[in-house]
Chains A and B, each alone.
Chain A
């Protein structure tokens, strides 16, 4: 019985040790060889096959965009009353995906969540490519694409400036700032790893390219000192930025008068949904990469487990938001608002709303059970459901709300055309093609950051030695 009382004096860390972030006691050079070895190895066959497929989709998507530009927005299914349909749905979908990357790189950094080091590089890259896909849509949906410079803060020939009080202009600033800051943050994190690639490069081209990109990084502490400060401040800046971006996106809807759009709950609801969908996309991309490149010791089950928990949390916040919207529609006593929500769940698009609810709220509840969080098939299944569910959410909010607003005489259905579908498939092609290029030429895991979470990276760490009491004593001096 004495043992049962003993733990009170044993430090918590010893009673419940933290799981190691890198398994099997791997050394620093093992990590370098694993991760830097991926771009250095011969290009595998699967890579050529996959990029041929995704590249074809991307190319076809670009052709669809050109067809749209040369013919007009009429090639899409958008029409009055549904003036914003798949274009803005896809815009919000992609921009939301990007948010997980910034959450992992910035918010988890500020929260000292060290497990982020295994996934932040890939998640940040995913952010950039998702924002590129997102940024395509506002550019091409304006109809007269040669007028797209009206979005820029410059006066038009009549000396009229854009309306700075408009959420649409806020959105231009928010998305472009978000993309720029994400690029800077990503590249700053990449510099020490590019230096590793430079120092290992064998070919002349590799030496030149990585050498140029590494900017002469030498890893001196006088450099790390400023580097770490810049990284911390960029994380601090990105945190409110990422929250502001999706809030601003939600203002595009919330400041209008359309029932189903005009709600104050939108900013936090959109941000939670964005993080939710983004984490699912990170796992969708990283689980195959983990299996292909045998990253199991760096990207462990504990990483997947905590990511599943974040999906569960944000999914439940989204579920709360859906329910609260329904409650407010009932309690708010606005007949148009009430109708919008009856129409959403029981109108002609009931299947979209119920798919959204099932995929985003019901299915992620599986993650309450540990066994489901630690099974590749269930994790992948839930992530795919969330990817689909988050697209449905945007479609339900944007397009379905527009089909039936105030006057029944101006109601109408929305049907996408093949150009709508193929443009969306094309953005998936662009996204995956960029990601494949990224994992082929850049270290997809932040080596310098993963090394900091090894026990040996702690300057007060002493390897356990047999009979090494002398050195142990020194360690406590």
Chain B
């Protein structure tokens, strides 16, 4: 470690694992050790990893429900307010009363789907704190391979149990290769 690096703030410690299986088993051990601010990085979502990391189901579904509800209410007001109050449009002498509401269903459905989809799309990026143009993790040259075939586990320095010596040893003990300290940007 150079003198300049020593002055920089530690982001965390990263270890590489040879396979999805190894990463999964390592995640279980990190979870059991009681770490809280850590993450595993893989080229694809690993089935069952949420459980191995002790994470629950993503709450995104509940947020999307409210997005869909907004869409439904938007469609309902968009249709009812003009067609029932502002300018009831009589076409072919057909009624314009409340019993014609099935004719409003298609647009209600479409806008419910549209708003839910927008919520899902933007929700996933807001929850993931994305987009961001850079992240200190990208300074680690090896990390490039995470989108190809490499598996990493990072324990962040902000974790209350983090210690740059003990955590490193622990990661080596559970099979991590190339255990390295990562630094924040200056």
User: Which of B39, B131, B148 has a CB less than 8 Å from the CB of A199?
Assistant: B148
> A196 touching B113 by the CB < 8 A rule?
no
User: Which of B45, B52, B130 has a CB less than 8 Å from the CB of A217?
Assistant: B130
Per-position 1/0 for B84-107, Cβ under 8 A of A: 001101010010000010011011
The answer for the CA separation of A357 and B100 in the assembled complex, in Å, is 38
> A461 touching B61 by the CB < 8 A rule?
no
Of the listed stretches B1-9, B114-122, B163-171, B172-180, chain A binds B114-122
User: Which of B61, B131, B147, B154 has a CB less than 8 Å from the CB of A196?
Assistant: B147
A170 and B146 in contact, given A181-B114, A221-B39 (Cβ under 8 angstroms): no
> A28 touching B43 by the CB < 8 A rule?
yes
> A164 touching B43 by the CB < 8 A rule?
no
Asked whether A459 is an interface residue with its Cβ less than 8 Å from the other chain, the reply is yes
> B107 touching A169 by the CB < 8 A rule?
yes
Asked whether A153 is an interface residue with its Cβ less than 8 Å from the other chain, the reply is yes
Per-position 1/0 for A211-225, Cβ under 8 A of B: 100011111111111
Per-position 1/0 for B118-143, Cβ under 8 A of A: 10110111011011111101100000
> A199 touching B144 by the CB < 8 A rule?
yes
User: Which of B40, B57, B100, B111 has a CB less than 8 Å from the CB of A165?
Assistant: B100
Beta-carbon contacts under 8 Å, A252-266 to B: none
User: Which of A161, A181, A251, A452 has a CB less than 8 Å from the CB of B113?
Assistant: A181
- Nearest B residue (CB) for A195: B147
User: Which of B21, B127, B149 has a CB less than 8 Å from the CB of A28?
Assistant: B149
Asked whether A378 is an interface residue with its Cβ less than 8 Å from the other chain, the reply is no
Identify which of A170, A216, A221 gathers the most chain B CB atoms within 10 Å of its CB. A221
List residues of chain B with CB within 8 A of the CB of A28: 43, 148-149
> A174 touching B110 by the CB < 8 A rule?
yes
Min distance, Cβ B132 to any Cβ of chain A, angstroms:
4
Identify which of A160, A177, A452 gathers the most chain B CB atoms within 10 Å of its CB. A177
List residues of chain B with CB within 8 A of the CB of A416: none
List residues of chain A with CB within 8 A of the CB of B113: 177, 181, 237, 240-241, 244
Task: Return 15 A-B CB contacts under 8 Å, by A number.
Answer: A32-B43, A160-B89, A164-B79, A165-B94, A165-B100, A170-B106, A173-B106, A174-B110, A218-B41, A220-B39, A223-B130, A229-B58, A248-B106, A451-B43, A451-B44
Beta-carbon contacts under 8 Å, A331-348 to B: none
> A459 touching B89 by the CB < 8 A rule?
no
The answer for the CA separation of A189 and B1 in the assembled complex, in Å, is 40
Min distance, Cβ A102 to any Cβ of chain B, angstroms:
12
A29 and B148 in contact, given A159-B86, A451-B43 (Cβ under 8 angstroms): yes
> A457 touching B117 by the CB < 8 A rule?
no
> B91 touching A457 by the CB < 8 A rule?
no
> B133 touching A457 by the CB < 8 A rule?
no
Q: How large is the interface on A (under 10, 10 to 19, 20 to 34, 35 or more residues)?
A: 35 or more
Min distance, Cβ B59 to any Cβ of chain A, angstroms:
8
> B120 touching A233 by the CB < 8 A rule?
yes
- Nearest A residue (CB) for B79: A164
Q: Please list the residues of chain B having a beta carbon within 8 angstroms of any beta carbon in chain A.
A: 19-21, 23-25, 27, 39-50, 52-53, 55, 57-58, 60-61, 64, 78-79, 82-83, 86-87, 89, 91, 94, 100, 103-104, 106-107, 109-111, 113-114, 116-118, 120-121, 123-125, 127-128, 130-135, 137-138, 144-149, 154
Min distance, Cβ A446 to any Cβ of chain B, angstroms:
10
Known contacts A219-B147, A225-B45, A457-B47; can you find 7 more A-B pairs with CB under 8 A? A181-B113, A192-B44, A195-B147, A221-B46, A228-B45, A244-B106, A448-B147
- Nearest A residue (CB) for B19: A456
> B49 touching A459 by the CB < 8 A rule?
yes
The answer for the CA separation of A198 and B144 in the assembled complex, in Å, is 9
Identify which of B94, B111, B138 gathers the most chain A CB atoms within 10 Å of its CB. B138
> B55 touching A161 by the CB < 8 A rule?
no
List residues of chain A with CB within 8 A of the CB of B124: 188, 226-227, 229-230
- Nearest B residue (CB) for A227: B124
Identify which of B113, B118, B135 gathers the most chain A CB atoms within 10 Å of its CB. B113
The answer for the CA separation of A223 and B129 in the assembled complex, in Å, is 9
List residues of chain A with CB within 8 A of the CB of B47: 452, 457-459
> B123 touching A226 by the CB < 8 A rule?
yes
Asked whether A180 is an interface residue with its Cβ less than 8 Å from the other chain, the reply is yes
The answer for the CA separation of A163 and B121 in the assembled complex, in Å, is 31
A165 and B146 in contact, given A220-B39, A221-B41, A457-B44 (Cβ under 8 angstroms): no
> A161 touching B120 by the CB < 8 A rule?
no
The answer for the CA separation of A167 and B109 in the assembled complex, in Å, is 14
A219 and B42 in contact, given A155-B87, A165-B103 (Cβ under 8 angstroms): yes
A229 and B61 in contact, given A244-B110, A459-B24 (Cβ under 8 angstroms): yes
A163 and B91 in contact, given A27-B149, A227-B128, A234-B121 (Cβ under 8 angstroms): yes
> A215 touching B117 by the CB < 8 A rule?
no
List residues of chain A with CB within 8 A of the CB of B118: 180, 184
- Nearest A residue (CB) for B60: A229
> A222 touching B82 by the CB < 8 A rule?
no
Min distance, Cβ B116 to any Cβ of chain A, angstroms:
5
User: Which of A173, A184, A216, A251 has a CB less than 8 Å from the CB of B130?
Assistant: A216
> A461 touching B20 by the CB < 8 A rule?
yes
